[in-house]
Amino acid sequence: MKAFLILADGTVYEGESIGSTREVISEIVFNTSMTGYLEILTDPSYCGQSVVMTYPLIGNYGVCYEDMEDPESYVDGYIVREISNSPSNFRSEDKLEKFLVDHDIAGIQGVDTRALTKRLRNYGTMNGMITTNENFVLEEVLPKIKAYKVTDAVKRVSCKEKTVLPGDGMKVALMDFGAKKNIAKSLNERGCEVTIYPAYTSAEEIIASNPDGIMLSNGPGDPKDCGPIIEELKKLYATDIPIFAICLGHQLMALANGADTRKMKWGHRGANHPVKDLTTGRVYMSSQNHGYVVADKTVPEDVAEISFINANDASTEGLHYLGKNIFTVQFHPEACPGPQDTAFLFDKFIDMMEVNKDAEE
């Protein structure tokens, strides 16, 4: 069956339908990862988006459900050059196309993904429609495409009630703004008892649970749409509880302390982004997935200092808050699969909690 990708600028790409045949309008973004497509499809940060994979053959090692970052997929659409229908992997349980069908993800293959990615890089991320309707009228669908906006994304992906992962170490309160499974797992594997809270949980409830530390997760959408959450983070900042934040959590903590965020032209999405530690000068490879970033020179100098920058474009990738047990990063130290160069940040967080607890006693 034919399928079409219609961009907001009027460009049309023709291909073959894979997955769900439903018509969908979403934000079109690209990811440069060679592997990890299941983790991408189940990363809640892609809520409201359709993902273009730049690697030409996707699905060649099948689907292993154990690798899912969330039980659900919030991706609207999936765009590839070619999908593999003959996966080869001893762990494979299904073909990727079946996963797309089961999760009602509209897909299209046979698209010139190099040309599409270059267009998104040249003109910036834009909205688009995936449809199997061969009789679409461009003049009628373009206004709908242009009007689309991702809304209530964090509310859609966050857990609905708190859950606990038992552990005999530090007690961590994880605020779920769209948390990838591996964040809680990375803490739990280090012995932490992790209590996962819905995104809009009050600061008072978090503080009353007497955690040794607070983890702020990744998540989707424009951070400035999360006003009520930002107000609660101001209260958490005012405590002496150690805090570690990733991606959206990093942006929200910055907004809570007077900084600004901006939308990037095409974002950082992939498993090969170099970040530079400004303290040591060392460069790490990182996994990233974000379309917004803490704006340059907006962080108050008496509040925080930049700890990491992107080695490609010098954008802010990490903040260390002065006089506080708080550090935040834009990239994903829990990435799996992906570079694990920065997994030590979880150990740093645990050390921070232990030192703080010893000081209190």
Write out pLDDT tens, residues 53-104: 999 999 999 999 999 999 999 999 999 999 999 999 999 999 999 999 999 9
| Superfamily covering domain 154-360 | Class I glutamine amidotransferase (GATase) domain (3.40.50.880)
Q: Would you say the pTM of this structure is higher than 0.95?
A: yes
Q: Among this protein's residues, is 268 annotated catalytic?
A: no
Whether the domain at 2-150 and the domain at 154-360 fall into the same CATH topology: no
For the chain, the structural domain boundaries read 2-150, 154-360
Question: Which one is the CATH code of 2-150: 3.50.30.20, 3.90.470.20, 3.40.190.10, 3.40.50.1220?
Answer: 3.50.30.20
SS3 159: coil
334 in catalytic set: yes
- The pLDDT value given to residue 103: 98
What is the pLDDT, as a whole number, of residue 335?
A: 86
User: Active-site residue among 47, 226, 247, 336?
Assistant: 247
State the average pLDDT over residues 136-158.
Answer: 97
Binding-site residues sit at: 45, 219, 221, 248, 251, 289, 291-292
Q: Of 27, 39, 317, 334, which is the active-site residue?
A: 334
Kind of pairing between the strands at 106-109 and 12-19: antiparallel
How far apart, in whole angstroms, are the C-alpha atoms of residue 255 and residue 233? 9
- The single residue of 250, 273, 290, 332 carrying the catalytic annotation is 332
Q: Which residues have C-beta within 8 Å of that of residue 117, sequence separation ≥ 6?
A: 30, 52, 54
Mapping DSSP onto H, E and C, the string for 191-247 reads CCEEEEEECCCCHHHHHHCCCCEEEECCCCCCHHHCHHHHHHHHHHHCCCCCEEEEC
Q: pLDDT digits over 280-302, tens only?
A: 999 999 999 999 999 999 999 99
Q: Would you list which residues are annotated within the binding site for L-glutamine?
A: 45, 219, 221, 248, 251, 289, 291-292
**Mean pLDDT, range 119-147, rounded to an integer:** 97
